[in-house]
């Protein structure tokens, strides 16, 4: 009987200790779940410039299909502030950088000069740098250039000048033939020779190069959302773009060199 009481006491102690040990992890789990999540409170707010937003830009470095090649840098600047929900997200005067991804010179018989560029970096006035993607939708160069749906800028054509060259050569040839032959037949022969020479001149020379002078306005559109750290976007001033004269209206100039 004396041996049973110590065994019963030991068994009761172990049972109570096991219960405490079983309850301790649960209590710890409840306390950890009830503790506030400090990381969620310190997570920075994000501002969004939505996909489809248009950015009016101005070109800082001149581009031409005469010497442009893939990888060449493109430097631009925003002309107008982007404001969303009464908050200035992108002030005017923010710097924008991209690169040329494709450049093609005009053909001798057909085809215009083409430049494709990718806009991928923006530096806000406070130095905050943002990566984004945008493609040109318009390029105001003072000529008749255009932009397709993929953002490729096409140069102007020179069809009017080509027709003028053929007509002028035909007239000169007709005059020379009439004088030489002193007959209508001579004029006809001369006209044919002159037309052939004019056509050969057109076929052996390239069309006008695509020229994007410094000061060209370039409109781009965002093809995906741009996420900004709200803590680094605190602008009260809408900003100011650089004063830069735009390109003057000009006639497309055909490259008279056959190379």
Into how many domains does the chain fold? 2
| Residue 71 and residue 119 share a domain | yes
| Residue 174 and residue 66 share a domain | no
- For residue 194, being part of any structural domain is answered with yes
- For residue 188, being part of any structural domain is answered with yes
| Residue 222 and residue 104 share a domain | yes
The residue segments making up the domain with residue 180 are 159-204
The predicted-structure confidence for 31-85, as pLDDT tens digits, reads as follows 444 455 554 556 679 999 999 999 999 999 999 999 999 999 999 999 999 999 9
| Residue 151 and residue 126 share a domain | yes
The encoded tokens of residue 93 equal: 């005067």
The predicted-structure confidence for 6-28, as pLDDT tens digits, reads as follows 555 655 555 555 444 444 454 45
The predicted-structure confidence for 196-251, as pLDDT tens digits, reads as follows 544 444 455 667 889 999 999 999 999 999 999 999 999 999 999 887 766 655 55
| Residue 105 and residue 57 share a domain | yes
| Residue 164 and residue 151 share a domain | no
Q: What span, in angstroms and rounded, lies between the C-alpha atoms of 178 and 245?
A: 51
Which residues does 84 contact at the CB level (< 8 Å), separation at least 6? 47, 48, 49, 50
- For residue 31, being part of any structural domain is answered with no
- For residue 13, being part of any structural domain is answered with no
| Residue 165 and residue 150 share a domain | no
Q: What span, in angstroms and rounded, lies between the C-alpha atoms of 58 and 10?
A: 88
107: left (phi over 0), alpha (psi -120 to 50) or beta: beta
**3-class DSSP assignment, residue 222:** strand
The predicted-structure confidence for 77-117, as pLDDT tens digits, reads as follows 999 999 999 999 999 999 999 999 999 998 766 678 999 99
Q: What is the dihedral of CA 189, 191, 193, 195, to 10 degrees?
A: -150
CATH at residue 113:
2.40.128.260
With beta carbons less than 8 A apart as the criterion, state whether 167 and 184 touch: no
pLDDT band at residue 160, thresholds of 50, 70 and 90?
very low
- For residue 141, being part of any structural domain is answered with yes
| Residue 60 and residue 184 share a domain | no
- For residue 192, being part of any structural domain is answered with yes
| Residue 229 and residue 149 share a domain | yes
How much is the pLDDT for 167? Answer: 44
Pick from 78, 77, 139: which is nearest to 113 by CA? 139
| Residue 199 and residue 97 share a domain | no
- For residue 33, being part of any structural domain is answered with no
- For residue 218, being part of any structural domain is answered with yes
223-226 CB contacts, 8 Å cutoff, 24+ apart: 223/51, 223/133, 223/134, 223/135, 224/51, 224/132, 224/133, 225/48, 225/49, 225/50, 225/51, 226/48, 226/49, 226/53, 226/130, 226/132
């Amino acid at each position: 009987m004396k041996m049973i009481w110590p065994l019963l006491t030991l068994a009761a102690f172990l049972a109570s200790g096991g219960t405490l040990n079983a309850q301790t992890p649960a209590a710890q789990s409840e306390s950890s779940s009830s503790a506030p999540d400090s990381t969620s409170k310190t997570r920075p707010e994000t501002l969004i410039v939505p996909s489809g937003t248009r950015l009016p830009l101005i070109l800082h470095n001149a581009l031409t299909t005469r010497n442009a090649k893939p990888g060449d840098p493109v430097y631009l600047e925003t002309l107008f502030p982007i404001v969303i929900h009464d908050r200035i997200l992108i002030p005017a005067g923010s710097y924008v950088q991209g690169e040329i991804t494709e450049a093609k010179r005009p053909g001798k018989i057909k085809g215009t000069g083409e430049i494709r560029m990718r806009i991928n970096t923006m530096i806000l006035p406070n130095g905050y740098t943002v990566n984004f993607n945008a493609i040109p939708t318009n390029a105001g160069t003072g000529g008749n250039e255009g932009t397709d749906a993929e953002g490729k800028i096409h140069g102007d054509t020179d069809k009017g000048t080509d027709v003028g060259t053929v007509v002028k050569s035909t007239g000169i040839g007709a005059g020379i033939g009439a004088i030489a032959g002193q007959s209508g037949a001579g004029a006809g022969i001369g006209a044919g020779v002159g037309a052939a020479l004019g056509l050969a001149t057109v076929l052996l020379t390239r069309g006008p190069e695509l020229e994007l002078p410094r000061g060209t306005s370039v409109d781009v559109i965002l093809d995906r959302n741009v996420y900004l750290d709200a803590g680094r976007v605190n602008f009260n001033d809408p900003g100011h773009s650089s004063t830069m004269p735009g390109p003057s209206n000009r006639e497309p100039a055909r490259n008279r060199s056959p190379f």
